[in-house]
């Protein structure tokens, strides 16, 4: 803002935007904004979850059979990786609240690393699906012994996990931005809202996976 | 930025510094984060898309002048009504009142300096503009013929039009709508001035709050639905494709889960504008403030429970149809509460028949008519009779055009002195209100009869016996178009030649009238403190009129 210099002279913290009364007011508004945004995300994914529930109940054998074709080992590892990333994210939020710069950078970097591992494993899983002609479309081959609606399962699998992965990629971008800001010394005991908010976002993306994993990998699985 | 207004009484003292003249140049507009300037950007944007949508409408009415399909091929005609629907619904009706009046007024009404997230607000406008231009590009470069509803499997498998590009446009501007709703909701929650309790808040803000809830909860669902349609066209994913076991009815469920509440995104802001106008020109506290406020929220809640009434003939189960029918009837309750309370406010009051009130009275009549015919459509048996006929077309145009656009224009007249600092010409504005009212009824009333007689919608040819009513409708549309042109001209005219407006030309209550016209960038020199209930016309703030 143009009047930032003026504001500092008057004893107002530089992080305070001109239309808020104080930092607490600003934090309250930003946090509510993030929660509302996450509500919209729930509805966004909700459309696909609805489609999944409808088709799963209609085409149960196809869905259960196709579910068995997913790599449960990689899926489980990914779940663990993602949960761990939520832990490092929570620790980053705590470090930010304490204003410990090096610690913030460390935990944010660990979160990025774990996120990257998750995405890497997802790439491996996707490429297996391509190799086995299990990607819906002209090259799809109905797996042996399964009803043809197995294709629907994979349609939903790619839509849901793909959109989840897109959210992860956006999350990694946000984390990188936070690291740059933390290095610059933007966060202190007084002001760490951006870290809190990205933290909320990251946990949300994590929770989406917590629903995706059992729905796609576990339900109706007969043997390992 | 905010310090300018205080510290700049330099060269020309006579000219008060306000949000319009505080900074100059195109950049100062395109990069502004001032909610009032963003409102002006929306005003330009939605007016543009309204004109585009209106041109499509005039081509449709031209074709329907004669029974034979003699002006356009049926394929072209399909593209025309699709273009009309897409432009009007997504880029005029939905962003219209929230974008223009909501942006301008909410911070002023709650006594804040800006919305909670000013930069996000600007981003919303850009998303709206980019989305609108994307869809416009598609509609101009050959268009699409699916109707604005994108029904599958036609839209995914058979249609040759620019379905994906249009869907992308709608998707992008959907995020504009989501972010606007988010911004308004957080603003109303956290930015109210000291003493502005929920029950002291203007009813316009209550209506916009209810609208924001719908935008937040509904819009993401249409976003994912359009994404799935695009994925189906591009990558042959088969979520709605019967060939792969997909269910087109699921598309309709997801589509209407948003698109019915979207009707309330379009009408709730209009209802809340009318609440402001009625009480201001009745010069009397509004009757049943709490009921009107609560009815807005009730409409928002019910709006999510009635989508199935669009699908009575789509193969949804009879029992679902029954439930959706009953729930749809229930929407009449909060809607009627509003109409009765407005009427009670006007009853035995010193009504001053100025232009905004003329629009408001027109609104009340047309909205009631549209609402009552809506009840006929909520009835299962009758709906099957008139489904996909001009009866439906007439019904929703009574709500959308007779309702929302009347309220939008009424509100624009009412707040124009505040927005521009100028008065519009009173005589011409009254003429335009009447021309619009007459033109509207002549356009759409015959369509009720046409529909009831069985003329289906979305055809470019019709049997000879329907011609008289169609000619009436087209004649009405010409008058209506003229009616819309008049305000467009004199609003522009008034910006240069209009008389300077007083700070509170109507002698109205509300914080927006206690700041100069037009307001300074920071809205209020000092944060106002609210001490009483709204619409307290027992003590008209005479001193504010002097300014």
- Domains (range + CATH), chain B: 48-190+201-546 (1.20.210.10)
* Rounded average pLDDT over B491-514: 94
| Shortest Cα–Cα distance, A221 to chain B (Å) | 22
Q: Which of B173, B139, B137 is CA-nearest to residue B59?
A: B139
User: Chain A contacts of B33, Cβ < 8 Å?
Assistant: none
pLDDT for B157 equals 87
Q: Are A47 and B185 in contact (CB < 8 Å)?
A: no
pLDDT for B437 equals 97
* Rounded average pLDDT over B98-114: 96
pLDDT category at B238 given cuts 50, 70, 90 is confident
Quote the mean pLDDT of chain B: 92
| Shortest Cα–Cα distance, B170 to chain A (Å) | 15
> What is the reported pTM?
0.93
Q: Are A29 and B216 in contact (CB < 8 Å)?
A: no
Helix B426-453 with B467-497: angle, nearest 10 deg: 160
C-beta pairs of A204-210 under 8 Å, 24+ apart in sequence: A204/A38, A204/A41, A205/A164, A205/A167, A205/A168, A205/A171, A206/A82, A206/A83, A206/A85, A206/A86, A208/A41, A208/A45, A208/A164, A208/A167, A209/A78, A209/A79, A209/A82, A209/A164, A210/A79
- Measured between alpha carbons, how far is residue A204 from residues A197, B4, B70, B466 in Å? 11, 42, 57, 57
Q: How many CB atoms lie within 10 A of CB A5?
A: 10
B277-301 pLDDT, tens digit each: 999 999 999 999 999 999 999 999 9
> Which of B103, B127, B234, B245 is the mutation pick for testing A, counting most A CBs within 10 A?
B245
Check CB contact of A61 with chain B, cutoff 8 Å.
no
| Torsion sign (Cα): A179, A181, A185, A186 | negative
Q: Are B245 and A44 in contact (CB < 8 Å)?
A: no
User: Chain B contacts of A155, Cβ < 8 Å?
Assistant: 237-239, 244
Q: Give Cβ neighbours of residue B48 (< 8 Å, ≥ 6 apart).
A: none
| Distance spanning both ends of chain A, measured CA to CA | 59
> Which of B186, B217, B250 is the mutation pick for testing A, counting most A CBs within 10 A?
B186
pLDDT for B352 equals 87
Q: Which has the minimum average pLDDT: B157-161, B226-230, B481-485?
A: B157-161
Q: What is the ipTM of this complex?
A: 0.91
Domains belonging to chain A, first-starting first, are 34-218 (1.20.120.80)
| Distance spanning both ends of chain B, measured CA to CA | 24
Distance of alpha carbon B485 from alpha carbon B478, whole angstroms: 11
On the question of pLDDT at B125 being above 70, the answer is yes
The residue in chain B having the minimum alpha-carbon distance to the alpha carbon of residue A137 is B236
- Measured between alpha carbons, how far is residue A126 from residues A11, A50, A132, A149, A166 in Å? 55, 23, 10, 19, 14
B320-374 pLDDT, tens digit each: 999 999 999 999 999 999 999 999 999 988 888 999 999 999 999 999 999 999 9
Query: Phi/psi of residue A167, each to 5°?
Result: -65, -35
B35-57 pLDDT, tens digit each: 999 999 999 999 999 999 999 99
pLDDT for B540 equals 56
How far does CA B450 lie from the centroid of its chain? 26
User: Chain B contacts of A156, Cβ < 8 Å?
Assistant: 239
**Tokens standing for residue A12:** 């107002």
User: Chain B contacts of A40, Cβ < 8 Å?
Assistant: 178, 182, 216-217, 219-220
Q: Which residues of B touch A (CB under 8 A)?
A: 1-3, 112-114, 116-118, 120, 178, 182-183, 185-186, 189-191, 216-221, 223-225, 227-228, 231, 235-239, 244-247, 250, 253-254, 522, 527
Distance of alpha carbon A107 from alpha carbon B45, whole angstroms: 45
Among A20-24, A168-172, B233-237, name the most confident range.
A168-172
Check CB contact of A45 with chain B, cutoff 8 Å.
yes
C-beta pairs of A1-10 under 8 Å, 24+ apart in sequence: A1/B1, A2/B1, A2/B3, A3/B1, A3/B2, A3/B3, A6/B3
On the question of pLDDT at B318 being above 60, the answer is yes
Distance of alpha carbon A13 from alpha carbon A7, whole angstroms: 7
Determine the 3-state secondary structure of B535 from DSSP.
coil
pLDDT category at B5 given cuts 50, 70, 90 is very low
- Measured between alpha carbons, how far is residue B95 from residues A111, B131, B262, B404 in Å? 38, 12, 11, 12
On the question of pLDDT at B243 being above 90, the answer is no
Q: How many CB atoms lie within 10 A of CB B542?
A: 9
Check CB contact of A50 with chain B, cutoff 8 Å.
yes
On the question of pLDDT at A11 being above 90, the answer is no
pLDDT for B410 equals 97
On the question of pLDDT at B25 being above 60, the answer is yes
- Measured between alpha carbons, how far is residue B97 from residues A10, B211, B410, B496 in Å? 38, 11, 11, 24
pLDDT for B11 equals 40
B534 with B509: CB under 8 angstroms? yes
pLDDT category at B545 given cuts 50, 70, 90 is very low
Distance of alpha carbon B121 from alpha carbon B41, whole angstroms: 11
Q: B6 versus A156: which is more confidently predicted?
A: A156
* Rounded average pLDDT over A153-168: 96
A62-93 pLDDT, tens digit each: 999 999 999 999 999 999 999 999 999 999 99
| Torsion sign (Cα): B138, B400, B262, B458 | negative
Check CB contact of A220 with chain B, cutoff 8 Å.
no
B205-220 pLDDT, tens digit each: 999 999 999 999 999 9
pLDDT category at A12 given cuts 50, 70, 90 is confident
pLDDT for A223 equals 55
Which residues numbered 138-197 in A keep a CB inside 8 Å of some CB on B? 138, 148-149, 151-152, 155-156, 158-159, 163
pLDDT for B465 equals 95
Which of A25, A43, A47 is opposite residue B190, by nearest beta carbon? A25
Q: How many CB pairs under 8 A join A and B?
A: 122
Q: Are A36 and B216 in contact (CB < 8 Å)?
A: yes
Q: Are A36 and B246 in contact (CB < 8 Å)?
A: no
On the question of pLDDT at B546 being above 50, the answer is no
Q: Are B1 and A158 in contact (CB < 8 Å)?
A: no
Determine the 3-state secondary structure of B350 from DSSP.
coil
Which of B116, B221, B238 is opposite residue A155, by nearest beta carbon? B238
Q: Which has the minimum average pLDDT: A3-7, A74-78, A133-137, B96-100?
A: A3-7
Q: Which has the minimum average pLDDT: A149-153, B173-177, B314-318?
A: B314-318
pLDDT category at B547 given cuts 50, 70, 90 is very low
On the question of pLDDT at B308 being above 90, the answer is yes
Check CB contact of A136 with chain B, cutoff 8 Å.
yes
Distance of alpha carbon A154 from alpha carbon A148, whole angstroms: 11
What kind and span of H or E run contains B398?
none
3-state secondary structure B187-233: HHHHCCCCCCCHHHCCHHHHHHHHHHHHHHHHHHHHHHHHHHHHHHH
On the question of pLDDT at B375 being above 80, the answer is yes
pLDDT for A14 equals 86
On the question of pLDDT at B385 being above 70, the answer is yes
Which of B113, B117, B223 is opposite residue A33, by nearest beta carbon? B117
B132-159 pLDDT, tens digit each: 999 999 988 988 999 999 998 999 888 8
pLDDT category at A4 given cuts 50, 70, 90 is very low
B147 with B102: CB under 8 angstroms? no
In sequence order, the β-bridge partners of residue B500 are B422
Check CB contact of A6 with chain B, cutoff 8 Å.
yes
The residue in chain A having the minimum alpha-carbon distance to the alpha carbon of residue B35 is A19
Q: Are B218 and A43 in contact (CB < 8 Å)?
A: yes
B189-198 pLDDT, tens digit each: 999 999 999 9
Q: Are A32 and B189 in contact (CB < 8 Å)?
A: yes
pLDDT category at B9 given cuts 50, 70, 90 is very low
* Rounded average pLDDT over B62-77: 94
Q: B237 versus B54: which is more confidently predicted?
A: B54
Which residues numbered 116-135 in A keep a CB inside 8 Å of some CB on B? none
Cα three-residue angle B408-B403-B101, rounded to 5 degrees: 20
Distance of alpha carbon B375 from alpha carbon B377, whole angstroms: 5
| Shortest Cα–Cα distance, A144 to chain B (Å) | 17
On the question of pLDDT at B1 being above 80, the answer is no
Q: Which of B289, B309, B296 is CA-nearest to residue B265?
A: B296
* Rounded average pLDDT over B62-72: 94
Question: H-type helices in chain A, by residue range?
Answer: 4-9, 23-58, 60-67, 72-97, 101-131, 150-184, 193-213
A158 with A51: CB under 8 angstroms? no
pLDDT for A222 equals 63
> Which of A5, A12, A18, A158 is the mutation pick for testing B, counting most B CBs within 10 A?
A18
**Tokens standing for residue A1:** 């803002």
On the question of pLDDT at B4 being above 90, the answer is no
User: Chain B contacts of A3, Cβ < 8 Å?
Assistant: 1-3
Distance of alpha carbon A34 from alpha carbon A88, whole angstroms: 20
Check CB contact of A54 with chain B, cutoff 8 Å.
yes
pLDDT category at A10 given cuts 50, 70, 90 is low
On the question of pLDDT at B105 being above 60, the answer is yes
| Shortest Cα–Cα distance, B541 to chain A (Å) | 27
pLDDT category at A1 given cuts 50, 70, 90 is very low
A122 with A165: CB under 8 angstroms? yes
B198 with B188: CB under 8 angstroms? no
């Amino acid at each position: 803002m143009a009047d930032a210099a003026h504001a500092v002279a008057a004893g107002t913290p530089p992080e305070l935007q001109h239309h808020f009364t104080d930092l607490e007011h600003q934090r309250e508004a930003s946090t509510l904004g993030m929660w509302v945004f996450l509500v919209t995300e729930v509805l966004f994914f909700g459309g696909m979850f609805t489609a999944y529930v409808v088709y799963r109940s209609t085409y149960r054998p196809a869905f259960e059979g196709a579910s068995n074709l997913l790599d449960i080992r990689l899926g489980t590892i990914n779940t663990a990786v993602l949960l761990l990333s939520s832990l490092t994210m929570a620790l980053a939020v705590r470090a930010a609240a304490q204003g410990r710069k090096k610690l913030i950078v460390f935990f944010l970097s660990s979160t990025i690393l774990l996120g990257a591992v998750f995405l890497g494993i997802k790439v491996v899983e996707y490429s297996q699906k391509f190799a086995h002609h299990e990607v819906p479309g002209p090259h799809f081959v109905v797996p042996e012994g399964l009803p043809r609606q197995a294709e629907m399962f994979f349609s939903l699998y790619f839509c849901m996990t793909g959109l989840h992965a897109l959210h992860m990629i956006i999350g990694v971008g946000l984390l990188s931005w936070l690291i740059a800001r933390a290095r610059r010394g933007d966060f202190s005991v007084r002001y760490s809202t951006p870290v809190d908010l990205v933290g909320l976002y990251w946990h949300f993306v994590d929770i989406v996976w917590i629903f995706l994993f059992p729905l796609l990998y576990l339900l109706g699985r007969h043997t390992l | 930025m905010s310090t300018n207004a205080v510290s700049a009484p330099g060269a020309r003292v006579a000219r008060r510094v306000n949000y319009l003249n505080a900074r100059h140049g195109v950049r100062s507009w395109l990069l502004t984060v001032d909610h009032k300037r963003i409102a002006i950007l929306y005003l330009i944007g939605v007016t543009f898309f309204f004109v585009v949508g209106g041109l499509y409408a005039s081509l449709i009415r031209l074709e329907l002048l004669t029974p034979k399909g003699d002006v356009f091929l049926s394929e072209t005609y399909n593209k025309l009504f699709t273009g009309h629907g897409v432009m009007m619904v997504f880029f005029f009706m939905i962003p219209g009142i929230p974008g223009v009046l909501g942006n301008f007024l909410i911070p002023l009404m709650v006594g804040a300096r800006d919305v909670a997230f000013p930069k996000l607000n600007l981003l919303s406008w850009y998303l709206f503009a980019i989305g609108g231009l994307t869809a416009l590009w598609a509609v101009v470069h050959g268009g699409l013929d699916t109707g604005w509803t994108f029904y599958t499997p036609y839209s995914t498998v058979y249609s040759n039009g620019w379905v994906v590009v249009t869907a992308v446009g709608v998707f992008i501007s959907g995020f504009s709508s989501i972010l606007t709703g988010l911004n308004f909701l957080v603003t109303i929650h956290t930015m109210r001035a000291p003493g502005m309790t929920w029950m002291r808040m203007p009813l316009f803000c209550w209506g916009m709050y209810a609208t924001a809830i719908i935008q937040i909860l509904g819009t993401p669902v249409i976003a994912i639905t359009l994404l799935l349609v695009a994925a189906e066209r591009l990558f042959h994913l088969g979520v709605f494709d019967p060939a792969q076991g997909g269910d087109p009815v699921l598309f309709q469920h997801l589509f209407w889960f948003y698109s019915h509440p979207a009707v309330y995104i379009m009408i709730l802001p209009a209802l809340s504008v009318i609440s402001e106008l009625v009480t201001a020109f009745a010069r009397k506290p509004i009757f049943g403030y709490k009921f009107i406020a609560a009815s807005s929220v009730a409409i928002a809640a019910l709006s999510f429970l009635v989508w199935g009434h669009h699908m009575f003939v789509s193969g949804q189960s009879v029992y679902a149809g029954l439930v959706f029918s009953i729930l749809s009837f229930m929407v009449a309750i909060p809607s009627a509460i509003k109409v009765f309370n407005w009427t009670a406010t006007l009853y035995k009051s010193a009504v001053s028949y100025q232009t905004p009130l003329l629009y408001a009275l027109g609104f009340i009549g047309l909205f009631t008519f549209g609402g009552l015919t809506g009840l006929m459509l909520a009835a299962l048996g009758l709906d099957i009779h008139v489904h996909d006929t001009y009866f439906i077309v007439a019904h929703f145009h009574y709500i959308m055009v007779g309702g929302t656009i009347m309220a939008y224009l009424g509100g624009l007249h009412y707040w124009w002195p505040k927005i521009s600092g100028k008065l519009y010409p009173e005589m011409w504005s009254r003429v335009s209100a009447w021309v619009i009212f007459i033109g509207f009824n002549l356009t759409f009333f015959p369509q009720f009869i046409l529909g009831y007689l069985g003329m289906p919608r979305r055809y470019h040819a019709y049997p000879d016996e329907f011609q008289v009513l169609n000619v009436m409708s087209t004649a009405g549309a010409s008058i209506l178009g003229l009616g819309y042109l008049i305000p467009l001209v004199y609003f522009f005219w008034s910006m240069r030649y209009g008389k300077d407006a007083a700070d509170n030309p109507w002698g109205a209550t509300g914080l927006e009238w206690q700041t100069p016209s037009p307001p300074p960038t920071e809205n209020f020199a000092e944060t106002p403190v609210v001490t009483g209930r709204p619409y307290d016309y027992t003590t008209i703030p005479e001193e504010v009129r002097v300014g």
